[in-house]
Amino acid sequence: MINLYEKNETNFKHNAYVLNETIKCEITEEINNSYEINLEYPLHDSKNFSNLFVPGEVVKVPSWDDRKEQLFVIRRFKPSLNNSISVYAQHIFFSKMDGNVVLDTFIEGKTRKQAVQQILNNTINPHKFNIGNKDKSTDTNNLRIVRYSVLDALIGSKDNTIKNRYGGELVPDNFTVDFVNKRGKYTGIKVTYAKNITGAEATFGDIDLITEIIPVGANGLMIPEKSVKASNFDVNNPYTRVIEFSNIGVVEAQKDNDGNITNEDEICTEEQAIKKLRKACLDKFNIEHVNEINFNLNLNFVELCDCINFEENDYSDINSRVAIGDTINVNIKPFGLTQKGRIYRLTRDAITGRLISCEIGYKRGNLADTLNKTNSKIDDTNSRLEKAKEELSKKTNNLKVTMEKKDNEIELSVENEAKKRKSAIEVLDGKIDLSVKNEKKARETAIEILDGKIENRVTEDDFSSYKRQTSKEISQKISSGEEFSSEMRQNVTTFQFLFNKASGQKTEITSDGIAIYDGGLIVKDRRGHDLMWFDKNGNCHVNFAHINDLSIDKLDVESSFYSSLANMKSVWFNEVGIGSRLNCNSDTFYINRGYNLDEYIEKKCHQMLKSQGLI
């Protein structure tokens, strides 16, 4: 039975809308890749259900394996001219978890099951999915998930995912998810050319073949014999690769201040590390089968339970259905192929259960995936930094240390939560940022290094200082709010001082000398008293001047020099020479003891006449 539910449905035990007019429904699953259905339904059905096929609605179909009916979310639909509608739907786990993100979680020393649980617990949006009980692995590992969807965190192609760090295969089962070492089983079922095989297409290749591994551990650790060879290694046709296992290396004992060992479970001698490197190589051969020819077989065959009369026998009651992950015996004489193969992709008719097609073989990742499957060095560094952070936090309870590698940058930060202070280094292509932020004191110090330029900045409250340097110029500025600032610029030909840029005040030093714009020069004595200064009108003020020589260009009655002399109360000269004339009123011309000119002439004339006896 195939059923349709509304997108907000939470109870899938009832039948809801029964799609009993379904024309076709094919269910396809591929290990660690996809789980989906393609359904075809009449456009003008008797119940008018075709109008309900919209993105977000849920379809329930039989799984035809050991799982109960599975739920699929409609992602798209397409009406056609042949009076039918085509519907594509993803398994509910793939659909919902591809759209839910883990912002940042660090998994340290956890088993695979614990790691999956931690990922599910740290999504940005709540969900109803939980982890099952099929995973029995006790191996532990470390990884950090930063801004991955849940689906990418579990089975994504990058190194720091559950699939690539722990190994294993995802088992989706409605709202329950499991990880197991290997899905399926060896069934003993045989599919043979000219009997139950109805179609086959095979691909063989050695592009990703590896028969000899040169392992390299942390800090360049290598095994004495240099390499590990597979059982089918051919000296005449070697396939040798260097693979880094940066998660394997010597780990020395670390002690606290009291001499107690703090990492007893992690201590690894060189001898132990070398043994781990050898085992890692053997796992590549025995578990990942990197030393075997990569063959993929797209196969169509009839399962025995679908045979009503085969070789005069009825096998319809026999449970001979294959499941995803099963290993079967394949015999195809035209291809020269007689060996076991594992089903990694399978398509069934969800209505009848009939097998439509399956892909068989060792579907391994390409060589780049194999080489990158081990822990990368940057993630190893992350793990060590995170461990150091944990140890430090035990003592301080306020430091958070983070090192993060993104697609185009690396960021290292140390945050003191108690003091609200964060120090950070961010490295990008062509740019390095260094900063220290103090939220409590509203202060920030930053250095930005670019290709061809360095910028420094310090801000605190309303004050800020800034410096920019290139190969041709140095500029630095100090500001207080938006009202006042001073700036200094220097290049090959000019040295400038600018004051409050909007006012136009500045001072320039060039090869022609010093230029002062709009005031800006004050000369003081050692006690801070003003001796000389220039006002905004261009006037120079001098408290005291000692001048060896003085030349004045403006001498007319409108000049300041004329006005200054005219307003002097008294002036004394040793000798005065008059070029053309001396112009003044007789009563303002004083001689000797205070006589004005008229009095002086009268007195002298009187004395002269008297001496001549004329009066």
List, for residues 253-309, the tens digit of each pLDDT value.
Answer: 988 888 888 888 889 999 999 999 999 999 988 877 788 766 555 655 454 454 444
Q: Which tokens sit at 249?
A: 């290396």
229 has a pLDDT exceeding 70: yes
- Predicted TM-score (pTM) of this structure: 0.52
Contact 540, 520 (CB under 8 A): no
Top-confidence residue, 424 or 7: 7
First vs last Cα of the chain: how many Å apart?
Answer: 161
Top-confidence residue, 158 or 584: 158
Query: At 607, is the secondary structure helix, strand, or coil?
Result: helix
Return the residue matching tokens 């639909």. Answer: 77
Across 206-353, the runs of DSSP E, i.e. the strands, are 212-217, 228-229, 240-245, 294-301, 327-332, 337-349
Instruction: Tell me the C-alpha distance between 163 and 166, whole Å.
Output: 6
pLDDT at position 362: 52
pLDDT at position 197: 45
pLDDT at position 32: 94
pLDDT at position 204: 53
Instruction: Tell me the C-alpha distance between 498 and 519, whole Å.
Output: 11
- Residue 535 banded pLDDT, cuts 50, 70, 90: confident
- Name the residue among 112, 376, 107 with its Cα closest to residue 247: 376
- Residue 319 banded pLDDT, cuts 50, 70, 90: very low
- Mean pLDDT of the region 147-169: 92
Other residues' Cβ atoms within 10 Å of the Cβ of residue 220: 8
Top-confidence residue, 552 or 508: 552
Q: Which tokens sit at 264?
A: 């007893």
Contacts of 312 (CB under 8 A, 6+ apart): none
331 has a pLDDT exceeding 80: no
Return the residue matching tokens 């500029």. Answer: 475
468 has a pLDDT exceeding 70: yes
- How far are the Cα atoms of 86, 178, 185, 536 from residue 22, in angstroms, in the given order? 11, 31, 32, 92
